[in-house]
Amino acid sequence: MAMSLSDSEALLKKAIGDLDKYWLATAAHWNDQAREGFEKEHLEDLRVSGVNASRAMREVDQILREAIRQCS
């Protein structure tokens, strides 16, 4: 069965939440400038991309739903 865009968006949001949860857990063992640099260089952009992708998925889902409604 194919996933809907809203299902995919929910999975993306969960994945971002899981990433944040596990990243916070690393602070107990890794808390130095290298960790901060990694977060700035990689994770911050990944979070922003995830939020942007989620927003785009919502917009496309709304457009598709409207198109289906109009064609019915």
| Confidence (pLDDT) at 1 | 54
The total number of structural domains that make up the chain: 1
Supply the DSSP symbol for 32. Answer: S
Range of the domain at 17: 5-71
pTM above 0.85, yes or no: no
Q: Which amino acid appears at position 46 of this protein?
A: L
**pLDDT tens digits for range 19-42:** 999 999 999 999 999 999 999 999
